[in-house]
C-alpha cells in the first residue's frame, strides 16, 4: 500500500535540492498519506509552452493547449518535454527516492511505495516564467 509521510518528504526534499536549479521556485507536499506532490511555481524557462509544443509534435494535434498550469505525466515526460527533459527526469527520479513498483496491471494489482504528482503551476496559482 502506498504510504508517504513527512520523514520521506524530508529525504526527497534533500534530493531535490541537488537537482532543481536555484532559480526555480517550487513547493512540496504530501497528499492523503500516499502521494508526494511537487508544484513548480516559477522558472526562467516557459515549461507550459514547451509542453504545448512537444505535445503538438508527438500527437499532430494542436486542439488542446495548456494555458497557465499543467500536470506532468511521470511515465511519459519524454513526450511532454525536450529542452528541459533532463532536468524534469532528474526531478522525477528525486521524487521517486526510496520508491518501488511491484504492480501487475494485468491482474489489477497495484503496489507502490508512494505515488508521484508533478505539477507546473496550479489552477488557482498560474505558472510564472521569470
- Residue 125 has what DSSP assignment? B
Among candidate residues 116, 21, 24, the one with its CA nearest the CA of residue 74: 116
Q: Which residue has the cell 499532430?
A: 60
pLDDT confidence band for 107 (50 / 70 / 90) = confident
The answer to whether the beta carbons of residues 81 and 50 sit under 8 Å apart is: yes
Q: Domains of the chain: which residue ranges?
A: 6-123
Q: What percent of the chain has pLDDT over 70?
A: 97
Separation CA 71–CA 95 (nearest Å): 15
Q: Which three cell numbers stand for residue 38?
A: 511537487
Q: Please state, rounded to an integer, the average pLDDT across all residues of the chain.
A: 93
pLDDT tens for 2-32 read: 999 999 999 999 999 999 999 999 999 999 9
Give per-residue pLDDT as tens, 56-74. 887 776 667 888 999 999 9
Beta strands in the chain (DSSP E): 25-31, 35-43, 70-72, 115-120, 128-129
The pairing of beta strand 115-120 with beta strand 128-129: unpaired
Bridge partners for 35 per DSSP: 31, 115
Contact (CB, 8 A) for 36 and 30: yes
DSSP annotation of 119 reads E
- 116 touches 36 (CB < 8 A): yes
- Average confidence (pLDDT) over 72-100: 96
Amino acid at each position: 500500500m502506498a504510504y508517504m509521510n513527512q520523514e520521506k518528504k524530508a529525504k526527497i526534499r534533500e534530493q531535490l535540492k541537488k537537482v532543481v536549479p536555484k532559480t526555480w521556485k517550487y513547493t512540496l507536499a504530501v497528499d492523503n498519506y500516499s502521494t508526494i506532490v511537487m508544484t513548480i511555481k516559477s522558472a526562467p524557462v516557459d515549461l507550459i509552452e514547451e509542453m504545448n509544443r512537444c505535445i503538438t509534435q508527438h500527437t499532430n494535434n494542436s486542439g488542446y493547449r495548456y494555458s497557465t498550469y499543467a500536470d506532468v505525466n511521470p511515465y511519459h515526460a519524454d513526450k511532454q518535454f525536450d529542452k528541459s527533459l533532463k532536468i524534469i527526469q532528474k526531478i522525477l527520479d528525486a521524487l521517486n527516492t526510496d520508491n518501488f513498483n511491484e504492480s501487475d496491471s494485468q491482474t489489477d494489482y497495484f503496489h507502490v511505495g508512494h505515488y508521484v504528482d508533478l505539477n507546473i503551476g496550479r489552477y488557482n496559482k498560474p505558472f510564472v516564467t521569470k
